[in-house]
Structure 1
Amino acid sequence: MSAILSADDLNDFISPGVACIKPVETLPVAPEPSSLEHEVFRDDGPTNGTAEPAQISLTDCLACSGCVTSAEAVLVSLQSHAEVLRALDSAPELDLSSTTSISSSSSSSSSPAPLLYVASVSPQTRANLAAACGPGVTEQQAGHMLEHLLSGPNGLRAGGAFNNGFTWVVDTNAARDATLVLGADEVLGSSPSGAAKPRPLLTSSCPGWVCYAEKTHPHVLSYLSKVKSPQALTGTLLKTTLSRTLGIPADRIWHVAVMPCFDKKLEASREELMDGAWDDTKPNAGSKGIRDVDCVITSKEVLMLAESRGIDFFSLPKTSLQDNAANRRVPFPDTILDQFLFPAPSSPARHRPSAAAGSSGGNLYFILQSVLAQNPGATLHTARGRNIDVVEYSITAPGQEAPIFKAARYYGFRNIQNLVRRLRPTRPSRLPGGRPIGSARRGGASGAGAGLDFAYVEVMACPGGCTNGGGQIKVDDEIVVARRQAASGVEANGAKPGPLEQKAWLADIDEAYFSAEEDDVTETAIAVKGHGDEVDGISPSYVRSTLAHWAQTTGISLDKLVYTTYREVVSDVGKSTAPGSKKKGADATEHVVQLASKIGGGW
């Protein structure tokens, strides 16, 4: 289990499960004490030890629903700041200054093949780090600090076996704009895939929610949006473009994503988000493949990453690394995609989210604004649900009472459970002449989702949204407490911050999330004027043309690049899976508990 993950961090925790049984299912009935030692290791091989290692892959954990938490503990430990340092020290950095060095560089018996290191950073992480820095620090300034850490000469490049750093640090806001446009097209019927989706369409960018649906409520999978999340889309864009334009295999590109959520580690591990999903030329079609995102670290782990190299993150410059000509980034190998991923302040691709869009990406807000743009004079009405994390929206046209579009927001698993119950298919009554059991009783119509007349629902696992992700730095973390005490000059009294302090802390993160330099806002407003089809500062035509160029450049169909799939995960925990097995029901559960006790129990 990750050293920084505890039960207190899992605010989207659903239910505990038994300890992982894979390491002990084949243990003898009466093992010797020394044979009880089992270890979990990466796919690249076992560590030194006398006990036979138990190999548990990320896929194993995703295929078992014995545990349903915000992040399976084994998965979290396999992706960490230590893995980033290991990757940076595993091979020299690929030299992009010469095409000859790119094509000729290869591994030998004495040296590994050079790797191209790239990183992507979410705006929620930058906002969290800005709040940790203290009052007055903006999300953009925190992004500059991250860039100095990941790419600057005084950051990670100042140490390690090869003095490696990341060639590009990409803002996931670029891919987020693409997911907003693709999501709106999917809801409003202009999706390139042409496949009609049942209503309501549910957001799928939250991996905790997707994992929960796959394991416990497969009846909602047909409602999930097929559009990739910003993290996944960024990974696919980087791996496909760089591998095709530079002529190097995808396994020579190492991509780390910095995210606010432990569940993003789960997402990066999905087989649907590996190169086998888009690379038709791959010889080993049955292999696990190369991930589009090799590793995910959280906001907390950024500080641990810096500390591991003896770097004080908070002392890093808050100005852009690009201000120094010696540190200017290498241009991305495709000009159009370079402008898309690294937009200048005056570029139409540079977009700042509005406060009304929320801090979870703004999927719902963009769709509502798209409907309003298509219906001049229409009015948006908002109604709060049973709590602050449930909000319903309706749009009415002039002179009409019935809404032309309805949507909702459901945050937090308590509210999500109410949502999925309303989507459960109806069951026929066993009584003669009885009404169907299920959602039809509530809505008066028939079929799943009857009575739930939303066209779209934004679903997020964390109460409050993504800025409150499980991987974020918390108000009661030692580094935050120490910095606040140093700033105020008040000595520690031993009391932990309470709910009011936590609420204020989340407000600070949200304030940083929506912070912007006045010059940036002005230039952005000027840039998008006259573009013709802007929705909340985003030009759908610009995004669509960029995506079409990406597909043409890589020679891969757009559907394979931007869409993904989901599948039901069936657990055999507590069930009989072997033909003729006598362990059924409670006996099977007892068997699992006995197995768990061999390695010290569960949670």
Structure 2
Amino acid sequence: MSAILSADALNDFITPGVACIKPVETLPTAAPTAPAESSLEHEVILDGAPGSQSQSGSAAPAQISLTDCLACSGCVTSAEAVLVSLQSHNEVLSVLDEAPALHVVTDGGGQVTVEGLQNPSSKLFVVSVSPQTRASLAAACGNDTTEQQAGHMIEQLFMGEHGLRGGGKHGNGFTWVLDTNTAREACLVLGSDEVLGGGMKQPKPKDDSNKPATPPILTSSCPGWVCYAEKTHPYVLPHLSRVKSPQALMGTLLKTTLSRKLGISPERIWHLAIMPCFDKKLEASREELTDAVWKTEDGQPGMGVRDVDCVITTKEIFMLVASRGIDFFSIPNVASPVQQPPFPDPTIQRFLFPSNAKKQSRSAGTSGGNLHFILHDVQSRNPDSRIETVRGRNADVVEYKVVDSTGKTVFFEAARYYGFRNIQNLVRKLKPQTGSRLPGSAKRPAGKGLKFKYVEVMACPGGCTNGGGQVKVDDQIIIDRKGFEAKPGPQEQKAWLAEVDEAYFSADEPESELEKANNGGLDGTICGISPSNIRDTLVHWSSITGIDLYRLAYTSYREVISDVGKEITDTERVVQIAGKIGGGW
């Protein structure tokens, strides 16, 4: 279901527990003599015991890993299965073929209008692409293809005549192809302000779920980690960062700005996100990430229209092109000749389409650089300080300190925990300890077991370039291109990940001496990002939409209670699924 871990991550496999249910595909050996039951067959495992008998004999014990359990409240629910299955390359093609697309046009005076509104089924198509996706596709192309060149190929696919516009019922394409790196920069500034104070105002608490995060603050941009915390460790939720992920922030920015500026309803703006992770599909389905949160016209809330309508993963790009008979590798790796129309707001236009693409720093890692940015923000606030790094028990655990020139004064402590083996160790340290029954004893509050003020948490070992939705070395398309005679093993996968990471940093430039010392500039930039410009843009966004920034840029989390072992009727299940189509896990 949720394939965010690689198959060779053996340290993340677990033993099936009580009421753990995993669907098992059962193929009949002969034509049935009686009508088969229509219910889904399952292999039920209790306390790791062997499963039940199937028609073909003894079924092998199910092998359960956290891959199966991330999108699960004890088992993979029907509602979640529906939500994820609705988001696929088939949905992209189906929506494109529904009706002629809306077109954004600009008159001589710079006024932006929309054509085609008379057809109620017509939509405005927008796609945002993650840098990890571009890196994975660049590695698949080979021949030293850079991330930027892979990005041009994606632009050509979604906008150009060599791509989706060349086929389909209406020859529809996407109006804008956006880079989620721009939203990432806003998330970095907001996240640093959340941890260090100052800058943007924090969300206004309406109830317990909307309270600001409690230190130590944990990254919340990884949906696999968030889902795991909500379903298994609710005591962690107060520590999760309230800042939206780049995918979610981009979705809110597009839906709010375009609907206000173009005078069209949010449901007529169709936003596709291309991500390295299957769990991003679940993130897009959250109730907290719909127009029900931000839309208020005449006091009426929104209808639960998603900020991100559909998520497909990197490897699903190849399914998309195959469905249209397109050879992805033959698409030109130069900028698309189709000009994107100007965004209907000049300030947002400059934010979404910067003149100079930001360089990915190798020291920031491949998961967005949340911790990297905060460390250098701390360093910029403490002159003559330096960052010390301490390697943990494995490569996916690293501790950091910002200290003075003597190393005696510690300004800030943080850490990085990647992979679920390490995450389980982290949540154990956060769990409140039950106090002794002796008089005067007290239990330890949650979070007191950690010395860190911030922890960057990612579910995938190695980070987001190793996401479950990325192209793998044992995918048939890579086997064919590389000419492997046998199925690639762990060593080949390790070498493949190195190629993806190299593509991710292919636009990297050597840092200047000043950047090496402080990774900031005299103009107030941090890691090449101007926090003041980001904050001004966010304030402008709030002003043109008339929506408070805390409703636009922040989110909340909630405990998810398992329904395993509970009697749920078919009617209740249908109601549950229908209620979650607009949001929720």
User: Does TM, scored on the shorter chain, surpass 0.5?
Assistant: yes
Asked if 2 retains the 8 angstrom alpha-carbon contact of 1:413 and 1:462, the reply is yes
Once the two structures are superposed, the pairs formed by residues 81-100 of structure 1 within 5 Å of their partners are: 81-97=89-105
Greater shift in the superposed pair: 87-96 or 248-257:
87-96
Secondary structure at the counterpart of residue 391 of structure 1: strand
CA distance in 2, matches of 1:153, 1:422: 54
Structure 1 residues 286 and 544, CA gap change in structure 2 (3 angstroms): closer
Greater shift in the superposed pair: 184-193 or 362-371:
184-193
Q: Once the 2 structures are TM-superposed, how far is the Cα of residue 532 of structure 1 from its aligned partner?
A: 1.8
Deviation per CA, 1:441-486, whole angstroms, max 9, x where unpaired?
xxxxx4222231100000000000000000000001110011111x
Moved over 6 A (4+): 4-7, 9-16, 61-64, 98-101, 517-521, 528-531
Q: Once the 2 structures are TM-superposed, how far is the Cα of residue 343 of structure 1 from its aligned partner?
A: 1.2
1:230 and 2:246 are equivalent in the alignment: yes
Asked if 2 retains the 8 angstrom alpha-carbon contact of 1:63 and 1:570, the reply is no
TM (norm. structure 2) is 0.81
Q: 1:473 aligns with which of 471, 474, 478?
A: 471
1:18 and 2:16 are equivalent in the alignment: no
Which amino acid in structure 1 is aligned with residue 498 of structure 2?
A
Structure 1 counterpart of 2:154: 146
CA distance in 2, matches of 1:386, 1:476: 29
1:137 and 2:145 are equivalent in the alignment: yes
Structure 1 counterpart of 2:133: 125
Asked if 2 retains the 8 angstrom alpha-carbon contact of 1:14 and 1:68, the reply is no
CA distance in 2, matches of 1:529, 1:218: 37
Once the two structures are superposed, the pairs formed by residues 285-364 of structure 1 within 5 Å of their partners are: 285=301, 287=303, 289-321=304-336, 324=337, 327-345=338-356, 350-364=357-371
Structure 1 counterpart of 2:117: 105
CA distance in 2, matches of 1:221, 1:530: 35
CA distance in 2, matches of 1:383, 1:72: 40
Structure 1 counterpart of 2:31: none
Q: Once the 2 structures are TM-superposed, how far is the Cα of residue 100 of structure 1 from its aligned partner?
A: 9.8
Structure 1 residues 530 and 567, CA gap change in structure 2 (3 angstroms): closer
1:365 and 2:363 are equivalent in the alignment: no
1:156 and 2:164 are equivalent in the alignment: yes
Secondary structure at the counterpart of residue 97 of structure 1: strand
Asked if 2 retains the 8 angstrom alpha-carbon contact of 1:475 and 1:501, the reply is yes
Once the two structures are superposed, the pairs formed by residues 587-598 of structure 1 within 5 Å of their partners are: none
Which amino acid in structure 2 is aligned with residue 192 of structure 1?
K
Q: Once the 2 structures are TM-superposed, how far is the Cα of residue 435 of structure 1 from its aligned partner?
A: 5.7
CA distance in 1, matches of 2:265, 2:5: 38
Deviation per CA, 1:15-49, whole angstroms, max 9, x where unpaired?
764258xxxxxxxxxxx94662689xxxxxxxxxx
Structure 2 counterpart of 1:193: 202
Asked if 2 retains the 8 angstrom alpha-carbon contact of 1:13 and 1:68, the reply is no
Which amino acid in structure 1 is aligned with residue 384 of structure 2?
G
Structure 1 residues 152 and 15, CA gap change in structure 2 (3 angstroms): farther
Which amino acid in structure 2 is aligned with residue 374 of structure 1?
R
Once the two structures are superposed, the pairs formed by residues 388-427 of structure 1 within 5 Å of their partners are: 388-399=395-406, 401-427=408-434
Q: 1:565 aligns with which of 531, 556, 575?
A: 556
Q: Once the 2 structures are TM-superposed, how far is the Cα of residue 285 of structure 1 from its aligned partner?
A: 3.9
CA distance in 2, matches of 1:403, 1:249: 51
Gaps of 5+ in 1: 21-31, 40-60, 438-445, 486-491, 579-603
Greater shift in the superposed pair: 192-201 or 152-161:
192-201
Deviation per CA, 1:471-507, whole angstroms, max 9, x where unpaired?
000001110011111xxxxxx53x2212211111000
Deviation per CA, 1:185-213, whole angstroms, max 9, x where unpaired?
00001241166532110000000000000
Which amino acid in structure 2 is aligned with residue 174 of structure 1?
T
Which amino acid in structure 2 is aligned with residue 303 of structure 1?
F
Q: Once the 2 structures are TM-superposed, how far is the Cα of residue 244 of structure 1 from its aligned partner?
A: 0.4
Structure 1 counterpart of 2:223: 207
Asked if 2 retains the 8 angstrom alpha-carbon contact of 1:63 and 1:571, the reply is no
Q: Once the 2 structures are TM-superposed, how far is the Cα of residue 272 of structure 1 from its aligned partner?
A: 0.2
Secondary structure at the counterpart of residue 457 of structure 1: strand
Structure 1 counterpart of 2:53: none
Which amino acid in structure 1 is aligned with residue 166 of structure 2?
A
CA distance in 2, matches of 1:183, 1:141: 30
Secondary structure at the counterpart of residue 226 of structure 1: coil
Structure 1 residues 9 and 144, CA gap change in structure 2 (3 angstroms): farther
Structure 2 counterpart of 1:450: 448
Q: Once the 2 structures are TM-superposed, how far is the Cα of residue 66 of structure 1 from its aligned partner?
A: 2.2
Once the two structures are superposed, the pairs formed by residues 206-285 of structure 1 within 5 Å of their partners are: 206-281=222-297, 285=301
Asked if 2 retains the 8 angstrom alpha-carbon contact of 1:204 and 1:225, the reply is yes
Asked if 1 retains the 8 angstrom alpha-carbon contact of 2:5 and 2:460, the reply is no
CA distance in 2, matches of 1:113, 1:10: 45
Structure 1 residues 457 and 68, CA gap change in structure 2 (3 angstroms): farther
CA distance in 1, matches of 2:539, 2:551: 12
Q: Once the 2 structures are TM-superposed, how far is the Cα of residue 518 of structure 1 from its aligned partner?
A: 6.6
Gaps of 5+ in 2: 24-33, 42-68, 204-210, 570-585
Q: 2:540 aligns with which of 523, 535, 549?
A: 549
Q: Percent identity?
A: 60
Asked if 1 retains the 8 angstrom alpha-carbon contact of 2:433 and 2:445, the reply is yes
Structure 1 residues 14 and 375, CA gap change in structure 2 (3 angstroms): farther
Asked if 2 retains the 8 angstrom alpha-carbon contact of 1:189 and 1:196, the reply is no
Q: Once the 2 structures are TM-superposed, how far is the Cα of residue 370 of structure 1 from its aligned partner?
A: 0.3
Secondary structure at the counterpart of residue 296 of structure 1: strand
Aligned CA-pair RMSD: 3.3
Q: Once the 2 structures are TM-superposed, how far is the Cα of residue 530 of structure 1 from its aligned partner?
A: 7.0
Which amino acid in structure 2 is aligned with residue 572 of structure 1?
D
Q: Once the 2 structures are TM-superposed, how far is the Cα of residue 352 of structure 1 from its aligned partner?
A: 1.3
CA distance in 2, matches of 1:420, 1:434: 27
Which amino acid in structure 2 is aligned with residue 200 of structure 1?
P
Which amino acid in structure 2 is aligned with residue 335 of structure 1?
P
Q: Once the 2 structures are TM-superposed, how far is the Cα of residue 76 of structure 1 from its aligned partner?
A: 3.0
Which amino acid in structure 2 is aligned with residue 115 of structure 1?
K
Which amino acid in structure 2 is aligned with residue 18 of structure 1?
I
Secondary structure at the counterpart of residue 492 of structure 2: helix
Structure 1 residues 7 and 469, CA gap change in structure 2 (3 angstroms): closer
Asked if 2 retains the 8 angstrom alpha-carbon contact of 1:215 and 1:569, the reply is yes
Q: Once the 2 structures are TM-superposed, how far is the Cα of residue 510 of structure 1 from its aligned partner?
A: 0.4
CA distance in 1, matches of 2:295, 2:137: 36
Structure 1 residues 13 and 153, CA gap change in structure 2 (3 angstroms): farther
Structure 1 counterpart of 2:490: 499
Structure 1 residues 235 and 282, CA gap change in structure 2 (3 angstroms): farther
Q: Once the 2 structures are TM-superposed, how far is the Cα of residue 401 of structure 1 from its aligned partner?
A: 1.8
1:178 and 2:186 are equivalent in the alignment: yes
Deviation per CA, 1:230-273, whole angstroms, max 9, x where unpaired?
00000000111100000000000001000000000000000000
Asked if 1 retains the 8 angstrom alpha-carbon contact of 2:274 and 2:313, the reply is yes
Structure 1 counterpart of 2:457: 459
Deviation per CA, 1:135-193, whole angstroms, max 9, x where unpaired?
31000000000000011112000011110010000000000000000000000012411
Secondary structure at the counterpart of residue 96 of structure 1: strand
1:533 and 2:524 are equivalent in the alignment: yes
CA distance in 1, matches of 2:8, 2:280: 15
Deviation per CA, 1:515-544, whole angstroms, max 9, x where unpaired?
1187999xx99xx99772100100000100
Q: Once the 2 structures are TM-superposed, how far is the Cα of residue 368 of structure 1 from its aligned partner?
A: 0.2
Asked if 2 retains the 8 angstrom alpha-carbon contact of 1:120 and 1:172, the reply is yes
CA distance in 2, matches of 1:360, 1:7: 16
Greater shift in the superposed pair: 530-539 or 237-246:
530-539
Asked if 2 retains the 8 angstrom alpha-carbon contact of 1:123 and 1:171, the reply is yes
Q: Once the 2 structures are TM-superposed, how far is the Cα of residue 218 of structure 1 from its aligned partner?
A: 0.2
CA distance in 2, matches of 1:231, 1:535: 22
